Structure 1
């Protein structure tokens, strides 16, 4: 009879479940310049904020980056996929602006197909697309609740499902979902945003077990502090003390470290950006 699976800790992340007989996760590998050379990354939700910072950083590490989001034209919130791709090109990197609505199955499939056609495959996914709603549950309109679930949860499911066969075909790679420290703040009540992100963490920590035999690392990453993105400001997130603010570039560096993993490295964990970087 198999022994029950036991908890393991890795690189500052919360506990994961390691199947009996499976290797323990290895320590983190430092992401250095050029460490992602030859790799192809699909970044969902990359037109601004954390997603844009991650796309730029991964390109700086040598990856070819699909900059994916709905934002093709400047709207109420600043930032477009074309602006981010142009920034990467100006720095000498490789990027493709890919229109993608993560809530639309056909749009996701078309974006993935365009990326594969341009770069020849996909090695890494960063699932960052998200919408913010922090109001109390009793005053949350159904359409806002549903939007959080559609974008923050179903959107992650769709892009993840579509890239898995491509990463498997490359012999392994990495999946990274961007979540939030708010998942742990149960003493501060509940809202649609935190609930949707908590579901993503369960999706990814479970998926890590499923994809370990395919040499695919699966992790969640959130800021350690508040990143004052364009979306946060547009949603009226409020004033944050300076000591509680984290630059988006910190998330870019932390994402690069997780992106460099495969199934033999860090996997099945929920990481906080500054804590992760402090271990490297």
Structure 2
């Protein structure tokens, strides 16, 4: 593996020489974040299950191609975050291609906002498997590689719904709340390794393809909608951190940029 990149990155390319692994990067927030990281100079592993177009549009190959067409470096990496072997293979493939990993954006997720009493067990379990166990698996897999680079940044995408206890309960918010607890604790564990660990949530609602497909966003007023680019800009800022900077926090996209 190569060591940390030395010297000042080129102007306008704060992540030059860095390698970012973006889980859930075939569409929505993950795609926009992957594109922004590449524009900031990072080599990007575009990781997700979506290798072919399906009911919801977007593939890892299309995102990787868009990055390379713009002059960046990208690798389309098939990855099922709920499967340990798939995650390990995706991380190993990234390290083989790019020499290491400096940044993780753990974005893969599924949405279920139904009331608890009408939630099928398989939906509850799917939210936990993808939104929580998936974050655990990709995080566990990349930590040794960040440590080998002398530091880096872990970012988990969560939701403002975690704090909306006046709105009731659902599987999605519960799974994301658990991720925040996981990452807040990891920030302490990984500080000696110079690894920043943060969560990032939208300040408002991001109407992604997945959100539209679920039918959950049909009644969102325009003023409550946030463009995915706001999340991307915040993710780039957090990707630049190590333990000497922002760490052990739950950030909101529009707030951190101010």
Verify same fold: TM over 0.5.
yes
Tell whether 2:254 aligns with 1:269: no
Deviation of the 1:90 alpha carbon: 1.2
Gaps of 5+ in 1: 1-31
Instruction: Give 1:130's aligned residue.
Output: 109
Distance (Å, rounded) in 1 between the aligned partners of 2:133 and 2:203:
24
Distance (Å, rounded) in 2 between the aligned partners of 1:92 and 1:164:
28
Query: Of the candidates 159, 163, 174, which is equivalent to residue 138 of structure 2?
Result: 159
1:79-228 equivalence runs, <5 A: 79-228=58-207
Query: Of the candidates 239, 244, 254, which is equivalent to residue 224 of structure 2?
Result: 244
Higher RCO (Cα < 8 Å, 6 or more apart): 1
Tell whether 2:10 aligns with 1:36: no
Instruction: Give 1:7's aligned residue.
Output: none
Moved over 3 A (4+): none
Distance (Å, rounded) in 2 between the aligned partners of 1:233 and 1:67:
22
Query: Of the candidates 224, 227, 235, which is equivalent to residue 255 of structure 1?
Result: 235
Distance (Å, rounded) in 1 between the aligned partners of 2:114 and 2:87:
29
TM-score (norm 2): 0.95
Indicate the SS of the match to 2:251: strand
Indicate the SS of the match to 1:239: coil
Deviation of the 1:239 alpha carbon: 2.5
Q: Residues 95-153 of structure 1: CA distance to partner in whole angstroms, max 9, x if unpaired? A: 00000000000000000000000000000000000000000000000000000000000
Q: Residues 158-215 of structure 1: CA distance to partner in whole angstroms, max 9, x if unpaired? A: 0000000000000000000000000000000000000000000000000000000000
RMSD, matched Cα: 0.6
Distance (Å, rounded) in 1 between the aligned partners of 2:254 and 2:21:
23
Distance (Å, rounded) in 1 between the aligned partners of 2:61 and 2:45:
11
**Aligned positions, number:** 247
Gaps of 5+ in 2: 1-10
Indicate the SS of the match to 2:196: strand
Indicate the SS of the match to 1:155: helix
